[in-house]
Structure formats: C-alpha cells, structure tokens
Amino acid sequence: MDKTLNKFVASYLWSDKVVHYSAWKRKLIDVLRLLYVVLDDLTKGELTLRAMSLVYTTLLSLVPMMAVSFSVLKAFGMHNKQLEPVMLQFLAPMGAQGVEITEKIIGFIDNVKIGVLGTFGVALLFYTAISLIQKIEATFNYIWRLDQHRSIGRRFADYGSVMLIGPLLVFSAIGLSASVLSGGVVQTLSSHLPFVQHLIAFATEAAPYLMIIAAFTFFYMFIPNTRVTFRAGFVAGVVSGILFQSLGWGFGSVVVSASGSGTYAIYSGFAILILFMMWMYISWLILLVGSSVAFYVQHPEYIAPVRRSGDLSIRQRETLALQVMAIIAQRHYQSRKPFSASDFVYRLRVQIQGVTRVLGALRAAGLVAEDHEDPPRYLPNVPLEKTSLKTVIDAVRNDGSVPMIALRVPRKPVHGVAEVTAAIDAALEEALASTTVRDMAIDDEEVAVDGGGVSAGVDRN
C-alpha cells in the first residue's frame, strides 16, 4: 500500500460519513481532498526533483529559445526592448536584481545573430530551444500518467508554432488592450461616466494577474499530450496565478530584501545567480503543482489517499479488458467513431494506467489495432463474432510474461500446482470458449441488420 501523508487526516476526509453531510460541507471536503492529494504528491519528492531538472534545462535553453522566438518579432518591427516589461513582470520578486538580470538576458539575445550561425548553428539553436518544451511535456505527461508522447513531427510543428507565433500573439494582445484603454471613445466615456474611469483603473491593475492566469491556463491545456478540459485548465491557472503572486511577494519580502545577511552574505558576488535559480525553481514548482491540480480536477477518480499509481489486480484487468472489448465491438457494429485511450477513461471512469496497460495487452495479442490518428483510436483486429472471451482473458493473463530461464539442472516441479492450473484453464475454457465478444457486447434485439449494413437501435454508451 502506498504511504499516505497523514493517516488520521486521510481517514477523516475519506470517511463514509461524508455522504451524509450538507452540500456545502461535501464541497469543502472535496476541496480538502484535492489539497491533500496534491500535498501528498509534493511530499513524495518527484515533483520537486523534476522542478530542479527543469531549472538546469532552463539555464541552458532560455537565451536560445528567446532568440528564436523574438527573431520573429523583429520581422514585424518589434525590438527586444519590448520584451523588457514581460521579463520584469516575471522577475518582479527579485527587485533591483530582477532589473539587472533582465538587462543581461536582453543583451545576450541582442548578441545572438541568427543570420551568421549557418545551417548547423540554426538547427542547433532550434534543438536547444525545443528541448526545453520537450522536457516540460515529459514532466506534464508524468503528472498526467501518460505513456505516449508526441511524435517528432508534431513536436516540431506544435513547439515551433508556440515559439514563433506565441510571442507575436502576446505582444499583439498587449498592444491591442493598451490601445483600447487609451482610445478616444473610452476616454470620452470615462470623462462623463465616473464608473468607467474606475473600471479602467481596475482593468489596468488586474491586467498582469489576468495575463498570468491566462498563460498558466494555456500551458495546462496545450502541453500535456491529451485533451485537457477548459475547466481543469482554468481552475489550475487560477490556483497557479494566486500561488505565483503570493510566493513572489514572499520571496521578494523575505529572501531578496535580506541584503545584509542570508544569501548575500553567503554567496557574495554569486548571490544574483543563486537568487535567480531559486526563483526559477519556485516558478517551475508552481507550474507543476498547478498541472497536478488540473489532472485531479479532470480525473477525480485519482483523488484517493493511496494507490494513485493506477495499479490494478489481475481480476480488475480481466474485467477492464472485457469492458474495453465490449465497447470496441459496440462502436464497430454501430458504425460509430472508435474510442481513444482517454475516451475509455471517461466512459469507464478508471485510471489511465490500467486502460493503457490493457490496451497494450490486447494489441500485443492481436485483438485490437491502432489507427493513424494522434492520439490513436482502437479498432478490432479480428472477427469479433469468432473471438471467444477466453481469448480476451488469456491476452490479459499472459501480458508481461517472460520465458523461464533455462537451467542446466531441470527444475523439480511443485506437487499439485500443475493440476490446479490445468483445472483453472479447463474451467475457463468450458465457461467462456463458446461465448464470443459479439455475443457479450451486442443484443440482437437492439441491432437491426438491413442488407449489408448494421444500424444501432440503442446507444449503450
């Protein structure tokens, strides 16, 4: 059993008495459960370890990524100095040191001359920039329990569009909002209607917070290699935005302002670099915690004090395999769009690791096949009216089996075991061999066959 943060708190939050609470108390318990599992994941150390890894990758990739991104802005008449407000906003908790770091980063970008790098240099520059987003995706996929990553083509297409078009859209949005707020119509209305003036002042104050929340929401919806709902991304974006502003204020007040002691006294001239790395670590940790929040909001079946790894027993995998084959058969005979792995998760309300493992076992046994979509959808690979349920069960039971190691001295059999396993196989064969996947999944009364076509009378999904 997985270790839990606090057994007493877990037993209270997941008590059977919760169902008898009032509606607002149940909502509060749901929030506390979400907070508990996020803190539990945080204390296990994997998120902090990955945040440290991202800090190292960021130090290597920051300047190349920005050089690639803002080279596009120069083509539209923008200059790197226009990057300064965005960098200052991010490094605001570092105070005067943030201004110094911003100037140095912009100086590095100005010194990068993409035109004189040559083909190999430009390719290396793009690879270094894309490697950062690729590492972020791998971390997000770990949080979202995903085994499949984007293909090489999709990585270059998706990440390249983010690096080339993203900055242009951001600065266009900033310029558009500034021109709207300073436009003649808005100024005229504010002079005649006092509340418009207060509204403009509020919008000006709230703009940085809204931009941070929007940026976090975009990350949570775009980076994972799965479909993330807007609700999950937005909730995580709000949580991350609040954490970013709160911890930024705390970092600036407690760490950076202690100029006479602490970090400055220990590291002296290296203090700026150390503080920058510390703030980068906090920022990455906030991003990963928010991604964890988005995952649990979208997959509440994982909100449990233990066993969030998605491991299933043999019996659970057998049941899941039968359910998956039944759904594949139903959608096949009803001429409906096949399911992806995420669709099976939403339909069956099970954890994604169990679904991917069962699909892998069925695919290895040749019972199902993937199409060419990304992410792939699953189709029957055998005639379902001739495939017995015993074959499906055997595919799961044999998953991950390896041949026995050959020894010079033959093994001495254990008395009675062979007879028991043979009896189990014979019982399964007798019970399931005559029942096919189609027999299990489709009722003849619900399916009307007209000529060569099959039409469903009832949507069983």
CA distance 461 to 457: 12
The reported pLDDT for the residue numbered 456 is 36
Query: What is the CATH architecture assignment of 314-401+411-456?
Result: Orthogonal Bundle (1.10)
Asked if the model's pLDDT at residue 458 lies above 50, the reply is no
**406 or 339: which leads in pLDDT:** 339
Asked if the model's pLDDT at residue 446 lies above 70, the reply is no
What do you get for the CA distance between the two ends of the chain, in Å?
A: 33
The reported pLDDT for the residue numbered 339 is 93
Is 327 exposed, middle or buried (CB count within 10 Å of its CB: 0-12, 13-18, 19+)? Answer: buried
CA distance 352 to 44: 21
The reported pLDDT for the residue numbered 15 is 84
- Tell me the mean pLDDT in the region 214-235: 87
Task: Tokens 């659970």: give the residue.
Answer: 316
Helix axes 118-143, 46-75, angle to 10 degrees: 140
Asked if the model's pLDDT at residue 1 lies above 50, the reply is no
Report how far apart, in Å, the C-alpha atoms of 1 and of each of 299, 306, 309 are.
21, 7, 10
- 209: tokens are 């917070």
- Tell me the mean pLDDT in the region 78-102: 70
The reported pLDDT for the residue numbered 321 is 93
**114 or 356: which leads in pLDDT:** 356
DSSP structural state of residue 457? S
Asked if the model's pLDDT at residue 289 lies above 90, the reply is yes
- Could you give the percent of the chain with pLDDT greater than 90? 15
Asked if the model's pLDDT at residue 451 lies above 60, the reply is no
CA distance 150 to 136: 12
The reported pLDDT for the residue numbered 447 is 47
Distance of CA 273 to the CA centre of its chain: 30
- Tell me the mean pLDDT in the region 424-448: 79
The reported pLDDT for the residue numbered 432 is 85
Q: What single letter denotes the amino acid at residue 11?
A: S
- Kindly report the length of the chain: 461
Task: List phi, psi (to 5°) of 262.
Answer: 65, -125
Side-chain-side CA neighbours of residue 171 (13 Å): 21
Asked if the model's pLDDT at residue 282 lies above 60, the reply is yes
pLDDT in tens, 313-360: 888 899 999 999 999 999 999 889 999 988 898 888 888 888 888 999
Given a contact cutoff of 8 angstroms between Cβ atoms, the answer to whether 212 and 245 are in contact is yes
Q: Helix or strand or coil: residue 379?
A: strand
The domain segmentation of the chain, as residue ranges, is 7-37, 45-302, 314-401+411-456
CA distance 37 to 30: 11
